Amino acid sequence: MRSVVRVLVLTAIIWSSPVAPGPKATDSLGRFFRDVETFTARFEQIVLDEGLNQIEESVGRLTIKRPGRFRWDYDPPLEQKIISDGDKVWIHDIDLEQVTVRPLVDTLGKTPATILAGKGNISQNYLVTDLGNYGKLSWVGMKSKQEDSAFSDMRIGFENGNLRVIELVDNLGQTTRIKFLNAVENPQVSDDSFAFVPPRGVDVIDQTKN
C-alpha cells in the first residue's frame, strides 16, 4: 500500500569522516521534543528495498503542531495528503480517489509523522543512543520499547542542533530517508491547517468504527 510505504520511512547512511563536535545529538533531540511546539519544512524522501535499490522518490511539505497534529502534503506526480487533527488520521490518495480514516491512537509511535508530532520525554517510549558526529550532522539512534514497533531501526540527524534528517528501517527491510529543507521552528500555525473533509465522490474507508 503506497500510503504505508510513504509514511514508513528510512535509508542507509553513508558515513563520512567525523568533524569537530557540535551539540550532542541527545541534547538536540530533547530540545526538539521539549521546546518545539510547531514545525514546518519542505522534505525530500527516498525509499529503498532490502537490497538498497531505490524504489520511490517524492517531495512535499510537512507541518506539525503538537501534540498530535500534523500534515504531510506530497507533491505530484505521487500526490497524497496525510493529515491528523490530534484525534483521527486521514490518508487521502488523490490518484486512487480514496480516503482512509484511522484513530490516531492506533498509529502512535508507528510512523515518522506521529513520532515527530509527539511531545514529552522521548526516552519513556524509546531507547535513545548518541551515535556521535559524522560529516555536518550529529546522530541519535532510537529503538522503540514496544514489541509491535513498525521499525527495526531509526536514526535522527541534527545540524547545529536543528533537525535535518530522519532515517528508518521497517520490519520488511525497506529503508527510507527524509531530508528536511527550509525548516522553521515555532511558526504561527492555525488549527484549521489540520481540518480535513473528504472531497465529494471519493471512496472513504472509515476504520474508526471498527
Mean pLDDT of 107-124: 71
Least confidently predicted of 13-17, 155-159, 168-172: 13-17
Residue 169 β-bridge partners: 153, 175
Q: How far apart are CA 155 and CA 128, in angstroms?
A: 10
Query: 144 falls in which pLDDT band (50, 70, 90)?
Result: confident
Q: How far apart are CA 13 and CA 74, in angstroms?
A: 23
3-class SS shares of the chain: helix, strand, coil, % to 5: 15, 45, 40
* 6: Cα separation from own chain's centroid: 10
Query: 175 falls in which pLDDT band (50, 70, 90)?
Result: confident
> CB-based contacts of 101: which residues, under 8 Å, 6+ apart?
88, 89, 90, 91, 204, 205, 206, 207, 208
Whether residue 18 is predicted with pLDDT greater than 60 in this model: the reply is: no
CATH number of 2-206: 2.50.20.10
Query: 8 falls in which pLDDT band (50, 70, 90)?
Result: very low
Whether residue 110 is predicted with pLDDT greater than 90 in this model: the reply is: no
Q: How far apart are CA 157 and CA 87, in angstroms?
A: 29
pTM given for the model: 0.82
Q: Which residue has the cell 484511522?
A: 102
Contact by Cβ (8 Å): 21, 58: no
> CB-based contacts of 113: which residues, under 8 Å, 6+ apart?
7, 70, 72, 82, 84, 107
Q: What percent of the chain clears pLDDT 90, i.e. is strictly above it? A: 53
Q: How far is CA 12 from CA 15, 116, 142, 199, in A?
A: 9, 20, 15, 37
Whether residue 13 is predicted with pLDDT greater than 80 in this model: the reply is: no
- SS3 assignment for 58-95: EEEEEEEECCCEEEEEECCCCCEEEEEECCEEEEEECC
Least confidently predicted of 62-66, 131-135, 184-188: 131-135
> CB-based contacts of 197: which residues, under 8 Å, 6+ apart?
none
pLDDT value of position 129: 93
Q: Mean pLDDT for the chain?
A: 84
pLDDT digits (tens, 9 = 90+) for 31-83: 998 899 999 999 999 998 888 889 999 999 999 999 889 999 999 988 999 99
Query: 171 falls in which pLDDT band (50, 70, 90)?
Result: confident
> CB-based contacts of 21: which residues, under 8 Å, 6+ apart?
132, 133, 138
Mean pLDDT of 79-99: 93
Q: What percent of the chain clears pLDDT 70, i.e. is strictly above it? A: 84
pLDDT value of position 11: 32
User: How many residues make up the chain in this entry?
Assistant: 210
